[in-house]
Structure 1
Amino acid sequence: MRRMMLVGRSESGKTSLTQALRGERIQYSKTQSISYHDVIIDTPGEYAENKDLSAALAVYSYEADIIGLLISATEPYSLYPPNVTGCVNREVIGIVTKVDKEEGDPAQAETWLRLTGCQRVFHVSSITGEGVDQLLSYLVMEP
């Protein structure tokens, strides 16, 4: 299975997705530092939100085969600039989280992820399990 690093702002669903991918019970837990979970690298949202901390994402990305950019379907804006995936020397996929939320707009979140350069975008809900199996299957596939 390929190792994936999850990147996104605080409360975008990185830790919940990590728990869902591992088949664990979903419980909120604030990630304070880079956390390794088998083939998932969970990063604090502050690393993506703060330019002074963002260099750490570049360093830790070398330990991953795939970078997963997360945007919640409930986000009012995108944290990522257009075409940001061009400066990453790993495969970058988009992951729209919280697709089960009635107030969400998964299509808008996917549009933002495609603007970053993500060619492949997954829609998931860590709570209902929607899309989690498809993402797991993708991680198992050979590149």
Structure 2
Amino acid sequence: MRKIILFGRSGCGKTTLTQALRGQDIVYHKTQYINHYDAVIDTPGEYAENRSLGSALAIYSYEADVVGLLLSAIEPYSIFPPNIAPCVNREVVGIVTQIDRSDANANQAEYWLKLAGCKTIFRVSSYTREGIGKVLNHLREDGDNVCWDDNGTLSN
């Protein structure tokens, strides 16, 4: 399975998505430092929000095969500048989180991710697990003998 690193502002759902991708129960946990897991690298939102810490994300992106730019469907604005994706020498995907919220505007978040240069965009809810399987299947490599349905449940 390819490894993905998750970038996004604080509160956009990176750690919650990490837990969902790993099949864990969702438990609030403030990410204080970069966490390496089997197929996910979870980063603190402050690294994406502060220019002085942003270079750490560039360095850690070399540890991953895929860069995931996360935007919550309830964001009032995007922290990602237009056309940032081509600056990375890894595949960059967009992930719209919190699509299950009543105040969600997933179309707006997806539009901002397209402006950032993401060609592949996933809409997910870590709580309902909608779209989790699509992300997992995207990370599959040739020879991986597992497949997930849309909700991240193993299927044959």
TM-score between the two structures when normalised by the length of structure 1: 0.98
- 1:11-62: CA deviations, max 9, x gaps? 0000000000011000110000000111100000000000000000000000
Q: CA deviation at 1:70?
A: 0.0
1:103 equivalent in alignment to 2:123? no
- 1:69-127: CA deviations, max 9, x gaps? 00000000000000001110000000000000010100000000000000000000000
Q: CA RMSD in A?
A: 0.6
Letter of the structure 2 residue corresponding to residue 107 of structure 1: N
**1:66 aligns to what?**
66
TM-score between the two structures when normalised by the length of structure 2: 0.90
Per the alignment, in what secondary structure is the counterpart of residue 96 of structure 2?
Answer: strand
**2:32 aligns to what?**
32
Measure, in 1, the Cα distance between the counterparts of 2:21 and 2:53.
Answer: 26
1:123 equivalent in alignment to 2:123? yes
Letter of the structure 2 residue corresponding to residue 44 of structure 1: P
**2:12 aligns to what?**
12
Per the alignment, in what secondary structure is the counterpart of residue 63 of structure 2?
Answer: coil
**1:51 aligns to what?**
51
Letter of the structure 2 residue corresponding to residue 106 of structure 1: A
Percent identical: 58
Q: CA deviation at 1:141?
A: 4.0
**2:82 aligns to what?**
82
Per the alignment, in what secondary structure is the counterpart of residue 92 of structure 2?
Answer: strand
1:140 equivalent in alignment to 2:140? yes
Per the alignment, in what secondary structure is the counterpart of residue 53 of structure 2?
Answer: coil
